[in-house]
Amino acid sequence: MDIKLFVDEIDALVHFLTQNEWFYHTDQHVKAESVRAAYAKGFFKDDRETYWLLENEEKIGVMIIHDIGDTIPLFDIRLDAKCRGKGYGVQALRWLQDYLFGEKGKVRIEGYTRVDNIGMRKCFSKAGFVKEGYLRNAWENEDGTVTDSILYGAIKDDWVLGETTPIKIDEVPF
Protein backbone atom coordinates (compact mmCIF):
# COMPACT_ATOMS: atom_id res chain seq x y z
CA MET A 1 0.00 0.00 0.00
CA ASP A 2 1.21 3.51 -0.81
CA ILE A 3 0.23 6.74 0.90
CA LYS A 4 0.07 10.01 -1.03
CA LEU A 5 -0.70 13.54 0.13
CA PHE A 6 -4.09 14.82 -0.99
CA VAL A 7 -3.71 17.82 -3.29
CA ASP A 8 -6.94 19.55 -4.35
CA GLU A 9 -8.57 16.38 -5.74
CA ILE A 10 -12.02 17.36 -4.56
CA ASP A 11 -13.95 15.42 -7.21
CA ALA A 12 -12.10 12.20 -6.35
CA LEU A 13 -12.65 12.83 -2.64
CA VAL A 14 -16.38 13.46 -3.15
CA HIS A 15 -16.64 10.26 -5.18
CA PHE A 16 -14.77 8.20 -2.59
CA LEU A 17 -16.66 9.50 0.44
CA THR A 18 -20.09 9.22 -1.17
CA GLN A 19 -19.69 5.73 -2.67
CA ASN A 20 -19.49 3.96 0.69
CA GLU A 21 -21.60 3.62 3.80
CA TRP A 22 -19.59 4.65 6.86
CA PHE A 23 -21.45 2.60 9.43
CA TYR A 24 -19.17 3.42 12.37
CA HIS A 25 -19.06 7.18 11.76
CA THR A 26 -21.52 9.82 12.87
CA ASP A 27 -22.37 10.70 9.26
CA GLN A 28 -22.94 7.25 7.76
CA HIS A 29 -24.16 8.49 4.36
CA VAL A 30 -21.88 11.33 3.30
CA LYS A 31 -23.43 13.76 0.83
CA ALA A 32 -21.46 15.41 -1.98
CA GLU A 33 -22.62 18.87 -0.89
CA SER A 34 -21.25 18.29 2.62
CA VAL A 35 -17.82 17.27 1.33
CA ARG A 36 -17.65 20.24 -1.04
CA ALA A 37 -18.74 22.66 1.69
CA ALA A 38 -16.17 21.26 4.14
CA TYR A 39 -13.48 21.49 1.46
CA ALA A 40 -14.41 25.11 0.69
CA LYS A 41 -14.08 25.94 4.40
CA GLY A 42 -10.58 24.36 4.51
CA PHE A 43 -11.55 21.25 6.49
CA PHE A 44 -9.12 18.97 4.67
CA LYS A 45 -6.18 21.40 5.03
CA ASP A 46 -6.53 23.82 7.97
CA ASP A 47 -4.50 22.28 10.82
CA ARG A 48 -4.98 18.93 9.07
CA GLU A 49 -3.18 16.76 6.58
CA THR A 50 -5.18 14.52 4.26
CA TYR A 51 -3.72 11.46 2.53
CA TRP A 52 -4.90 8.93 -0.02
CA LEU A 53 -4.34 5.25 0.71
CA LEU A 54 -3.44 3.60 -2.61
CA GLU A 55 -3.12 0.07 -3.90
CA ASN A 56 -1.73 -0.17 -7.44
CA GLU A 57 -2.54 3.54 -7.91
CA GLU A 58 -6.22 2.94 -7.01
CA LYS A 59 -7.63 5.07 -4.19
CA ILE A 60 -8.72 2.57 -1.55
CA GLY A 61 -8.90 4.87 1.45
CA VAL A 62 -8.42 8.29 2.91
CA MET A 63 -6.69 9.33 6.13
CA ILE A 64 -7.15 12.71 7.76
CA ILE A 65 -4.74 13.74 10.51
CA HIS A 66 -6.44 16.35 12.68
CA ASP A 67 -4.69 18.88 14.91
CA ILE A 68 -1.42 18.34 13.06
CA GLY A 69 0.10 21.34 14.86
CA ASP A 70 -0.63 19.85 18.29
CA THR A 71 1.65 17.55 20.25
CA ILE A 72 -1.10 14.89 20.31
CA PRO A 73 -2.95 14.65 16.97
CA LEU A 74 -6.12 12.69 16.24
CA PHE A 75 -6.98 11.01 12.95
CA ASP A 76 -9.70 9.44 10.83
CA ILE A 77 -9.13 6.49 8.50
CA ARG A 78 -11.77 5.41 6.00
CA LEU A 79 -11.33 2.38 3.78
CA ASP A 80 -13.38 1.45 0.75
CA ALA A 81 -15.81 -1.34 1.69
CA LYS A 82 -14.12 -3.83 -0.67
CA CYS A 83 -10.76 -3.25 1.05
CA ARG A 84 -11.82 -3.70 4.67
CA GLY A 85 -10.53 -6.70 6.58
CA LYS A 86 -7.45 -7.09 4.38
CA GLY A 87 -4.78 -5.49 6.57
CA TYR A 88 -4.82 -2.01 5.07
CA GLY A 89 -5.97 -0.43 8.33
CA VAL A 90 -3.03 -1.90 10.21
CA GLN A 91 -0.63 -0.72 7.48
CA ALA A 92 -2.10 2.78 7.66
CA LEU A 93 -1.75 2.89 11.45
CA ARG A 94 1.87 1.76 11.26
CA TRP A 95 2.63 4.39 8.61
CA LEU A 96 0.89 6.97 10.79
CA GLN A 97 3.16 6.15 13.73
CA ASP A 98 6.31 6.22 11.58
CA TYR A 99 5.26 9.57 10.14
CA LEU A 100 4.02 11.29 13.30
CA PHE A 101 6.67 9.95 15.68
CA GLY A 102 9.57 9.75 13.24
CA GLU A 103 9.13 12.78 10.99
CA LYS A 104 6.88 15.09 13.00
CA GLY A 105 8.26 14.39 16.48
CA LYS A 106 4.86 13.84 18.09
CA VAL A 107 4.78 12.15 21.50
CA ARG A 108 1.36 10.51 21.39
CA ILE A 109 -1.40 9.59 18.95
CA GLU A 110 -4.98 9.01 20.04
CA GLY A 111 -7.75 7.20 18.21
CA TYR A 112 -11.38 6.71 19.13
CA THR A 113 -13.84 4.21 17.73
CA ARG A 114 -17.27 2.92 18.53
CA VAL A 115 -17.25 -0.07 20.85
CA ASP A 116 -18.96 -2.22 18.20
CA ASN A 117 -16.35 -1.46 15.51
CA ILE A 118 -14.51 -4.73 16.06
CA GLY A 119 -12.53 -4.43 12.80
CA MET A 120 -10.98 -1.11 13.82
CA ARG A 121 -10.34 -2.34 17.34
CA LYS A 122 -8.39 -5.28 15.88
CA CYS A 123 -6.41 -2.86 13.70
CA PHE A 124 -5.47 -0.74 16.69
CA SER A 125 -4.32 -3.78 18.65
CA LYS A 126 -2.30 -5.29 15.77
CA ALA A 127 -0.61 -1.94 15.11
CA GLY A 128 0.62 -1.61 18.70
CA PHE A 129 -1.98 0.81 20.05
CA VAL A 130 -3.08 0.20 23.64
CA LYS A 131 -6.71 0.25 24.76
CA GLU A 132 -6.67 3.04 27.33
CA GLY A 133 -10.26 3.92 27.95
CA TYR A 134 -13.87 2.87 27.73
CA LEU A 135 -16.14 5.88 27.39
CA ARG A 136 -19.80 5.27 28.14
CA ASN A 137 -22.38 7.02 25.93
CA ALA A 138 -19.61 9.04 24.27
CA TRP A 139 -20.30 8.54 20.54
CA GLU A 140 -23.20 10.47 19.07
CA ASN A 141 -24.79 8.80 16.06
CA GLU A 142 -26.54 10.46 13.13
CA ASP A 143 -29.93 9.09 14.25
CA GLY A 144 -29.65 10.68 17.71
CA THR A 145 -28.64 7.52 19.54
CA VAL A 146 -25.51 7.33 21.62
CA THR A 147 -22.97 4.48 21.68
CA ASP A 148 -20.05 3.68 23.94
CA SER A 149 -16.61 4.33 22.50
CA ILE A 150 -13.10 3.06 23.07
CA LEU A 151 -9.93 5.14 23.27
CA TYR A 152 -6.67 3.71 21.94
CA GLY A 153 -3.30 5.38 22.25
CA ALA A 154 0.20 4.97 20.91
CA ILE A 155 3.21 6.69 22.44
CA LYS A 156 6.55 7.54 20.93
CA ASP A 157 8.49 5.73 23.67
CA ASP A 158 6.81 2.43 22.73
CA TRP A 159 7.39 3.09 19.02
CA VAL A 160 11.11 3.73 19.62
CA LEU A 161 11.47 0.55 21.72
CA GLY A 162 9.24 -1.57 19.47
CA GLU A 163 7.01 -2.67 22.34
CA THR A 164 3.82 -1.68 24.08
CA THR A 165 3.74 -0.83 27.76
CA PRO A 166 0.64 -1.68 29.75
CA ILE A 167 -1.43 1.06 31.31
CA LYS A 168 -1.91 1.33 35.06
CA ILE A 169 -5.68 1.67 35.02
CA ASP A 170 -6.21 -0.39 38.18
CA GLU A 171 -3.21 0.92 40.12
CA VAL A 172 -5.52 2.86 42.44
CA PRO A 173 -8.99 1.35 42.88
CA PHE A 174 -10.90 4.61 42.35
Q: What is the pLDDT of residue 145?
A: 92
Would residue 166 count as lying in a domain? no
Would residue 69 count as lying in a domain? yes
Would residue 168 count as lying in a domain? no
Nearest alpha carbon to residue 54 among 117, 6, 10, 21? 6
Where residue 8 sits, what CATH number does that domain have? 3.40.630.30
Q: How many domains does the chain have?
A: 1
pTM for this prediction: 0.92
Would residue 109 count as lying in a domain? yes
Would residue 61 count as lying in a domain? yes
- CA quadruple 111, 115, 120, 122: dihedral, nearest 10: 110
Per-residue b or e along 70-98, where b marks 16 or more CB atoms closer than 10 Å to that residue's CB: eeebebebbbbeebbeeebbbbbbbbbbe
Q: What is the pLDDT of residue 50?
A: 95
37: containing domain: 2-161
Would residue 90 count as lying in a domain? yes
The tens digit of pLDDT for each residue in 3-48 reads: 999 888 999 999 999 999 898 888 888 999 999 999 999 899 889 9
